Structure 1
């Protein structure tokens, strides 16, 4: 049974539907915020200031492009989840993991927001895997 299986929509538990709706909502929200942060970093090179002695020294414009691309993909897959597309479930889990890793490396730039995004990505992964478990 997949996320986009038209015949199984009636048999999916309401908690699974709620988990999918939650995951899609958080994905669209986090993706939108990532796109805004990415644009800010691309347009203003001095927007982000890194602390001293950071092991991963990427240019702020590079971080901006990473956030912009991953954020746009996160929004698109979140919309795909809302539309109940079969491809969106697994891609959402992979993208949530990539966004969490991205923000892990981004902690020195914006520590509190990075930890919030990592927690939200973990919650999205949990909600999606829980929804799949309840479908079976």
Structure 2
């Protein structure tokens, strides 16, 4: 989790498409709510179902004092998780240990008034097809 937060933090420092460590993040021109709505519609538009929305920003805000921190990381942050039966089967037939990458997640964050949409990068090889698929979903949400 620390690596994801650090990578997203680094991504906030750059304009346009940011690639920090194992994360790709794109700036979104609009509000957090609009970005979340656009992402959900892009996922559904692919014939997929959002299985879970993890409210990471709310959890971090709620537990900030409990863990002894006064740092506010995000105004808001969510991760939408979903799966593609077709891609997941293909990836796991290539290597059953690709189960470690499922479900797929795309995040929306707002930090310092800047909204970003992004995802964790996948290893070289067959998982690059999934990464391209996620990038396509993000590109649709950005339009």
Higher helix share: 1
Higher relative contact order (CA 8 A, sep 6+): 1
Query: Does the pair score TM above 0.5?
Result: no
TM-score class normalised by the smaller sequence: 0.3 to 0.5
User: Is the radius of gyration larger for structure 1 or structure 2?
Assistant: 1
